[in-house]
Structure 1
Amino acid sequence: MLDPIIAFFQRVFAAIGRGVGLVVAWLLWPFLAAHGWYRDRTWIIKGPILGILVLLILAYGQFFYRTQIWNGFDPAFVTSYKLDTRTVPAGAAIPDQANRCQDSAIVTLAAALTDQNVNQNTWISSTLLYKLGFFGIDWDNTPFFDNKASFQRGVNQVVRRTAIQLADNLGRVRGTSGINNDLQNARGNIQFDEGTWYFGVDPFGFKTPTPSYYRAAVDSWNRFNTSLASCDAVFDSRADNLLQLLDGMASDLGNTSDILRRRSEEFNAGWFDTRADDRYWFAFGQLYAQYALLKAAHADFGDVIRERNLTAIWAEMDRQLQGALKIQPAIISNGSEDGWIMPTHLTTMGFYTLRVRSNMVEIRAILDR
């Protein structure tokens, strides 16, 4: 009685095997045909083709390395600067040291974050293979090789906002003195387009690539801090300047949380949402940079924070940022909030983003009294 059942399953598995064989043959046919054509050519034709293939393999090998190896990535890297040992706010004279003032931790960390993006790592968004995409498809629209680029852009977005505050407010006395040239140059350079390669078509011609401008911004920030340490520049660590700095960060987080919310609500595709990882790592990059810069702000505005009794709420904001930065899933999933198979990483990141923003808004309200 079992013979018909066994025969049925044998036919099913045989059909499946033939189907799989046909699919594999269909996938391999172009390569086999190309191999047959290549085998019959002379070395005058084979040589250049082989050279091009070797160059492509090397180029994509380098591209894989650049996008998958994250040099210097450490959410707690700011602790190496020992900012808690500073005893005076930025720009103030250092006791018992003649003609020496405290440099700015915010400027130091803005330079360090940018250095991590373009010197310790390759700036992915302006590399040729990233711009070419995956068979013409933007890498951001695929699940591959775009996480590092999104993270870098998130970091850079925060640094850009901070550069504006440094040039317009923090590096001037109540906004009435002239703008510091180094901070002005850094602001201009860090605002440069994120995706410029050595050559472009709009306008057509050779160009200076994006990383060169960002490296120039790092040099300008370092020059400013050198001048500040020599008491030849100013850093205005007033409460209203701290308020404006936090206001800009809170505004950015509000926009990011809305992007996360809309993606989570409109594209519940779980592990198969190819844009979820972009949104997640951009938000992660923002929080990564804000964590470092807020640590720096605590050092630069130490007197203001103590005078306004902000130590406790600032510590809570710090804990929320640390909690968000501990979430580093290998694969980003954009599942439904009540799903039990595919998690919803975007909603989780959005939750932490809003918690951090609410702390910023509360600190801002206290400073505005």
Structure 2
Amino acid sequence: MLDPVIEFFERIFHAIGRGFGVVIAAILWPFVTVAGWYSRRGWLVRIPVLVVLVLLVAGYGHFIWVAERWTNYNPDYPDRYEFASRTVSPGQPLDPANPAQCAPSAIVQVTGDLIDFNINQNTWVPSMPLSKAGLFGLEWKYTPFLDNKAAFQLGINQVIRRTTVELVDRLGRVRGTSQINQNLQNARQAMAYDEDAWWLTFSPPFVQPSTPERQREALRALTAFNGELEKCTGEFDARADNLLQFLDRITGDIGSTSDILRQQMEASNAGWLDARADDRFWFTYGQLYAYYGLLRATQSDFADVYNDRRIDIVWNRTAEQLRSALDMTPFIISNGNESSWIMPSHLATMGFYVLRVRSNLVEMRDILER
């Protein structure tokens, strides 16, 4: 009685085995073909090909090591600044008896440290040649491999770009009528540079500054501006309307990211098989990672405004939500149906955190507008 059932399952397993065999054969076919061609060639051809293969293996080995190694990642990094101990606004004397020594800006310091984290403590992945080459010509962002760190770095970079613009336009000048600070202008221009530039290019002049080089220029410019503040020669306008505008820009930036998550959720519910879900997730994570430190720095630089308008309660709730979002680090990012119990929707969960943070920022703006 059981023989037909057993034969049925045997046929199924044999079909599955043949299917795996076909897939493996298709994967190995190019390598087998190349190996056969290589074995029939003389040493004048073999040696150059062998050198190229060794360089490729070493290059991809280094790339994989860099792309998977996250150095000095710490979601609690803002704690080391001890913002609570800073009681003087940027550019104001630390001691009334010594007007030649003033306070630096926490926003500028954190922005510079985020640049240092991205390009000095870690290798800037997006401009690496093998990162741009992808997997046999397919961009890494369309695969589930080796793009998480690059997306995380790009998310941080987005925040740094936004902050340098605001520093030039509003925070680093008095009421928008004073002269633009040259160091801040240099930082903004450097951060506006291409995110994936390598030092060699196919277009004239064929040699160009790489993205890390330009970002190091921005880091030096931001450090120089904070030096001006410490010498009481720089300007930082810590007014309520400047804080409102800064929060408004951050709210818009986070809102745009929320829409990107929504579009990806609507475009696919393939769960763990959605190759774009991971880079969308880690780009958003990088933004929240950077904004967590910058918003805490903002509370320090605008302490008088926070205390005067009594927005500390809303801000503390925002900080808690940002920190909670940074606890979400799944091993594999899934973009499944929101009601699924096998393939969860990590994008929906991250989007929930983003919207909570955004709603609190809107509430803070409303308080400042009253």
Q: Any idea what the Cα deviations from partners look like across 1:174-223, whole Å, max 9, x if unmatched?
A: 11211111111111111111111122345562211111111100000001
Percent identity, aligned pairs only? 51
Partner of 2:143: 142
Partner of 2:339: 338
Q: Output the TM-score relative to the length of structure 2.
A: 0.94
Q: Output the TM-score relative to the length of structure 1.
A: 0.94
* In 1, Cα distance between equivalents of 2:160 and 2:322: 17
Q: CA RMSD in A?
A: 1.9
Deviation at 1:71, TM superposition (A): 1.0
Deviation at 1:66, TM superposition (A): 1.2
* In 1, Cα distance between equivalents of 2:166 and 2:5: 76
Pairwise mapping of residues 201-280 of structure 1 onto structure 2 (< 5 A)? 201=202, 205-280=206-281
Pairwise mapping of residues 104-123 of structure 1 onto structure 2 (< 5 A)? 104-123=105-124
1:90–1:299: 8 Å Cα contact kept in structure 2?
no
Deviation at 1:13, TM superposition (A): 4.8
* In 2, Cα distance between equivalents of 1:9 and 1:262: 42
Tell me: CA distance 1:251–1:202, structure 2 relative to 1, closer, same or farther (3 Å).
Answer: farther
Residue 94 of structure 1 aligns to a residue whose secondary structure is strand
Partner of 1:283: 284
* In 1, Cα distance between equivalents of 2:8 and 2:358: 62
* In 2, Cα distance between equivalents of 1:254 and 1:18: 49
Partner of 2:169: 168
Partner of 2:200: 199
* In 1, Cα distance between equivalents of 2:177 and 2:36: 75
How many pairs are equivalent?
369
Deviation at 1:45, TM superposition (A): 2.1
Partner of 2:130: 129
Q: Look up the equivalent residue of 2:71 and give its one-letter code.
A: N
Partner of 2:70: 70
Unaligned runs of 5+ in 2: none
1:264–1:334: 8 Å Cα contact kept in structure 2?
yes
* Stretch deviating more after TM superposition (284-293 or 90-99): 90-99
Residue 260 of structure 2 aligns to a residue whose secondary structure is helix
Tell me: CA distance 1:319–1:22, structure 2 relative to 1, closer, same or farther (3 Å).
Answer: closer
Partner of 2:361: 360
Q: Any idea what the Cα deviations from partners look like across 1:57-102, whole Å, max 9, x if unmatched?
A: 1100111011111112111111111121112122221126611111
Q: Any idea what the Cα deviations from partners look like across 1:89-141, whole Å, max 9, x if unmatched?
A: 22221126611111000000000001111111111111111111221112111
Deviation at 1:43, TM superposition (A): 2.5
Residue 100 of structure 1 aligns to a residue whose secondary structure is strand
Q: Which runs of 4+ in 1 moved over 4 A?
A: 1-23
* In 1, Cα distance between equivalents of 2:142 and 2:22: 29
Partner of 1:93: 93
Deviation at 1:28, TM superposition (A): 3.0
Unaligned runs of 5+ in 1: none
* In 1, Cα distance between equivalents of 2:208 and 2:28: 41
* Stretch deviating more after TM superposition (193-202 or 284-293): 193-202
